[in-house]
């Protein structure tokens, strides 16, 4: 059945369509890849299919653990049906191991295991390049209510625990990851995606990077890394 009704929005990694049901959107995952605020662009073969399938598996796992998500069902290799949400303009970053910009900001070597997980917030704005903000900015700019922010934090901590344990089972360290949340009928739910685009994954044994850093840093083997993450997760999640 053809579900696409009206093109709504195109982002760096996905296209969003309205459907005949105002409560549901269709998300189409793309193979396009960007880095450094869009300055670097390219294509990762089968990325759309991998990220769609992996996100579907992880959304289902999180839902089974009590995390409400926008996911309804996967309808094709690169498309999923989701609940219509109004995205809360806050990116939540959970950091378990020092990597990327955190290494530059705190002066610790990449790979340093943090004694406590760090939660960071960024203002979701392409024009402003997603600047880091804190809870005082969030309140002053009215990006979320205190109650909504508390729920976002609670979900983020629980998601980190669930996913860290899950990926450890397949010999992958969940270094850090980005989450986005939205409002569906006033309820805060997890949205966006969970994939090598939005997470840093390292092989626990070898330390090999299995994520978008292979594209950012011209390390090669990008497609193989994405395929490897999906393959390992599919062995424990159906």
Does domain 6-83 fall under CATH 3.30.70.20? My reply is no
Is pLDDT at 187 greater than 50 in this prediction? Answer: yes
Residue-averaged pLDDT of the chain = 96
146 vs 188: CA distance, rounded Å: 12
Does domain 88-222 fall under CATH 3.30.470.20? My reply is yes
Distances from the Cα of 189 to the Cα of 25, 111, 194, angstroms: 15, 31, 14
Is pLDDT at 204 greater than 60 in this prediction? Answer: yes
193 vs 12: CA distance, rounded Å: 12
Closest CA to 75 of 145, 139, 148, 19: 19
Q: What is the pLDDT of residues 70-129, one digit of tens each?
A: 999 999 999 999 999 999 999 999 999 999 999 999 999 999 999 999 999 999 999 999
What residues does each domain of the chain span? 6-83, 88-222
pLDDT at 1: 47
Closest CA to 24 of 73, 78, 96, 97: 73
Closest CA to 174 of 157, 161, 186: 161
Q: What's the whole-number mean pLDDT along residues 1-12?
A: 81
């Amino acid at each position: 059945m053809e579900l696409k009704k009206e093109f709504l929005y195109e982002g760096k990694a996905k296209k969003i369509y309205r459907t005949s049901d105002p409560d549901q959107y269709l998300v189409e995952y793309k193979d396009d890849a960007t880095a450094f605020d869009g300055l670097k662009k390219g294509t990762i073969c089968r990325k759309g299919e991998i990220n769609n399938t992996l996100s579907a598996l992880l959304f289902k796992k999180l839902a089974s653990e009590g995390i409400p998500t926008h996911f309804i069902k996967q309808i094709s290799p690169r498309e999923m049906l989701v609940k219509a949400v109004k995205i809360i303009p806050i990116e939540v970053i959970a950091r378990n191991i020092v990597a990327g910009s955190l290494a530059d900001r705190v002066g610790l070597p990449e790979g340093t295991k943090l004694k406590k997980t760090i939660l960071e917030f960024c203002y979701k704005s392409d024009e402003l390049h997603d600047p880091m903000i804190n809870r005082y900015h969030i309140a002053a700019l009215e990006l979320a209510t205190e109650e909504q922010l508390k729920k976002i934090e609670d979900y983020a901590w629980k998601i980190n625990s669930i996913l860290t344990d899950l990926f450890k089972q397949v010999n992958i360290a969940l270094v850090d990851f980005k989450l986005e949340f939205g409002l569906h009928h006033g309820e805060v739910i997890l949205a966006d995606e969970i994939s090598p685009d939005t997470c840093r994954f390292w092989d626990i044994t070898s330390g090999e990077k299995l994520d978008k850093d292979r594209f950012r840093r011209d390390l090669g083997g990008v497609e193989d890394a994405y395929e490897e993450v999906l393959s390992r997760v599919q062995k424990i999640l159906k």
